[in-house]
Chains A and B, each alone.
Chain A
Amino acid sequence: MIGRRNTLARAGRVYMAAVLLFLYVPIIVMVVMSFNASKLYRLPVDWSFTWYVALAGNDKLISAGLNSVWVAVVTTVIATVLGTAASLAFFRYDFRGKRLLQLLLFPPIAIPWLIIGTAMLVFFFWIGLGRGLHAMILGHVALALPYVIVVVTARLRSFDPHLEEAARSLGASPWQATRRVTLPWIAPGMVAAALFAFAVSFDQFVISYFLSSPGVSTLPVEIYTSIRKGFTPEINAASTIVILVSMALLLGVARFYRFGGER
């Protein structure tokens, strides 16, 4: 028995290692190559910051990167505020069509982005909004909202509605009760949701590609365009930076999720 359990445990560990290798080896190769001066990926690695220096001079990539950050930050703020408000409404009130509305939150997560992107492009042109950063922000907010609502709603499930009633009985207005009692309780959920929203926007390619106007694009779109023109290891450098930012954010989510699950 014990021997068998050990074999199983070992097999599990090998499997785990295989999964991690499969996930991380390509990324590690790219990160290493971003520090390799050789354009043809020649080994051994000739360590240098050549491509980072080149990247610093690439105005197009830098402005696309700044656009990405700007769009992601605005998306995060709007989606977190709207999503939290929606979650609170779902939590507090029973209204007609509530179930339907809650169900309708999920399909957009499953619909291919290509289709959503096309639909948004057509729709934005039809209502005269056109393309550009504003269209991208609208699109990203729409994408991020379901994630925010799901995360904040999960946190609200552990909230005791009597706490709001207690606050009201002590003289707090509905807004004071929300601000002093409810929001502090769901804050960890809101932080996790905000990080999700940021990641959804920052990593978004398809929809950004459809909604970007010529000359104004985000980092993923710009990387794609440059690759089509001919690959340079500068992209490895840019990608390494993006990966570091994204991973830091998602680790942040994981940490706050843990925190949110306590008590």
Chain B
Amino acid sequence: MAEVTVSGVSKSFGADKAVDEVTIHFADGGFYALLGPSGSGKTTLLRMVAGFEYPDAGRITIAGEPVENLPVERREIGMVFQNYALFPNMSVFDNVAFGLAVRGTERSETRTRVGEALELVQLTGLDRRRPHQLSGGQRQRVALARALVTRPRVLLLDEPLSALDKSLRVEMQVELKRIQRDVAITTLFVTHDQEEALTLSDRVGILNEGRLIQEGPPHEIYERPETAFTARFLGDANLFTGTARAGQIELPDGTRLASAQPLGADGAAVTLAVRREKILLEAADSTADSAAPPQGINAISARVTRHIFAGSSLTYLVDWGGERLKVFVQNRTGEVVPEGAEVRLTWSPGDTVVVAP
């Protein structure tokens, strides 16, 4: 168990800058998700911590020891690959025992530790099976047991759940979290699935084009995105651009919005992010319409262009002066606002987040 630091790490492949001066501190025993679109450099960063790639610049330490020039096999890490990479010519037992075998561990100890590892991932009794005789979820568990049996200092997971179907993925998320807590191992987890990142980790780092955009606890990253990229990538927030005017934001059509956050000087360009589930959507002809919106509440008028029905919820696509906004509504009443209807959207200034463009 150990903390991991990455400081000022860069890596280029030819002219392509895969990772650009990234600095992150991974706390001892923490579960850290690296989230980003494909090509954001998250996998390259993970592979540099693992030792499959060497950084062009910067330092990487594990438990305070610089490792950026150590080969993989001397870093004492455990890794789970996207396709699990189980050895097809070996049984489950031999797969899990592999790391012990190359270290020359004694036979009786190997048997005990493989048994413990298989018990940890709840696969006891399957040790004679071959990888091709296992289900996707079982392979995933074997890969995890194999990575943990050598008692590594860090566990690296490269999109470990992406090959599983949805119901199994949710089950494995719970399992993964339990195992990670049981072993209390520093875990770095690469994913492009935002929900997975938010569910599993206690800290999230958002990467884009090789740079670390923002990092922090999932709740904070979601509620207070610092950039338009984060707001949009995580939860696909609605964005407004306007100008600061007397403590409010004036949109191009003259509407004024309030935010709980400090704005720049008058005349400065401001970008706002509003999450789709924080917006209240009401039909404009309803009785509530005649009443002006309560003081200090942001309100705009728009027209429904489409709705996407997903059973427990609906997502409305609304047109607001040529811009498309999304509003997420819990299906509480069973009513659906028809397409083409005029609606009023309201939300609180506290949910109006100022972001960097």
Q: Which residues of A contact B52 (CB under 8 A)?
A: 165, 168
A42 within 8 A of B: no
Q: How far is the CB of B73 from chain A (nearest CB, A)?
A: 5
Q: Cβ of B88 and Cβ of A169 under 8 Å apart?
A: no
A162 close to B73 (CB less than 8 A):
no
Q: Given A165-B52, A169-B72, A169-B79, A263–B102 Cβ distance below 8 Å?
A: no
- Distance of A176 Cα from B104 Cα, bound (Å): 12
Interface flags for A137-167 (1: CB within 8 Å of B; 0: not) read 0000000000000000000000010110111
**Which chain B residues lie closer than 8 Å to A263 at the CB level?**
88, 132
B72, B83, B103, B156: the one contacting A160 at CB < 8 Å is B83
Q: Does A70 contact B (CB under 8 A)?
A: no
Other-chain contact of A163, B51, B87, B101, B103 (Cβ < 8 Å): B87
- If A171-B73, A171-B102 touch, whether A185 touches B78 (CB-CB below 8 Å) is no
B271 interface hit (Cβ, 8 Å):
no
Is B89 at the interface (CB under 8 A from chain A)? Answer: yes
A184 CA to B77 CA, complexed, in Å: 25
Interface size, chain A (Cβ < 8 Å) = 18
Q: How far is the CA of A172 from the CA of B98 in the complex (A)?
A: 9
Nearest residue, chain A, Cβ from B97: A170
Q: A169's contact among B78, B87, B89, B132, by CB below 8 Å, is which?
A: B78
Bits for A171-185, please: 1 = Cβ < 8 Å to B, else 0: 111001000110011
Q: How large is the interface on B (under 10, 10 to 19, 20 to 34, 35 or more residues)?
A: 20 to 34
Closest Cβ neighbor of A167 among chain B residues: B98
With A162-B81, A185-B88 already in contact, the answer to whether A172 and B73 are too (CB < 8 A) is yes
CA distance A169 to B79 in the complex (A): 6
Q: Is the CB of A170 within 8 A of B102?
A: yes
Cα distance A169–B85 in the bound complex, in angstroms: 11
B79 close to A184 (CB less than 8 A): no
B146 proximal to A (CB < 8 A): yes
In the assembly, what is the distance between CA of A166 and CA of B99, in Å?
Answer: 10
> From A184, which residue of chain B is reached at the shortest CB distance?
B89
Contact A166 B81 (CB under 8 A): yes
Question: A162-B85, A163-B87, A180-B102 are contacts. A171–B79 as well, Cβ < 8 Å?
Answer: no
Is A169 touching B102 in the complex (CB atoms < 8 A)? no
The distance from the CB of B196 to the nearest CB of chain A, in whole angstroms, is 21
Known: A168-B72, A170-B150, A263-B88. A162 touches B83 (CB 8 A): yes
Q: Is B304 an interface residue (CB 8 A)?
A: no
Q: Which residues of B contact A163 (CB under 8 A)?
A: 85, 87-88
B79 near A166 with CB under 8 A, answer yes
Name the residue on B nearest A187 (C-beta). Answer: B89
Enumerate chain A residues within 8 angstroms of B102, measured Cβ to Cβ: 167, 170-173, 176, 180
In the assembly, what is the distance between CA of A170 and CA of B72, in Å?
Answer: 9
**Smallest beta-carbon distance A96→chain B, Å:** 14
Q: Known A170-B146, A171-B73, A172-B73; judge A165-B85 contact (CB<8 A).
A: yes
Q: How far is the CA of A147 from the CA of B199 in the complex (A)?
A: 53
**Pairs across A and B, CB under 8 Å, 12 listed:** A162-B82, A165-B79, A166-B79, A167-B98, A168-B51, A168-B71, A170-B73, A170-B78, A170-B102, A180-B101, A180-B102, A185-B89
A binding-site residues for B, Cβ under 8 Å = 160, 162-163, 165-173, 176, 180-181, 184-185, 263
4 cross-chain pairs, A with B, having the tightest CB-CB distances, nearest first: A170-B99, A162-B85, A166-B85, A169-B79
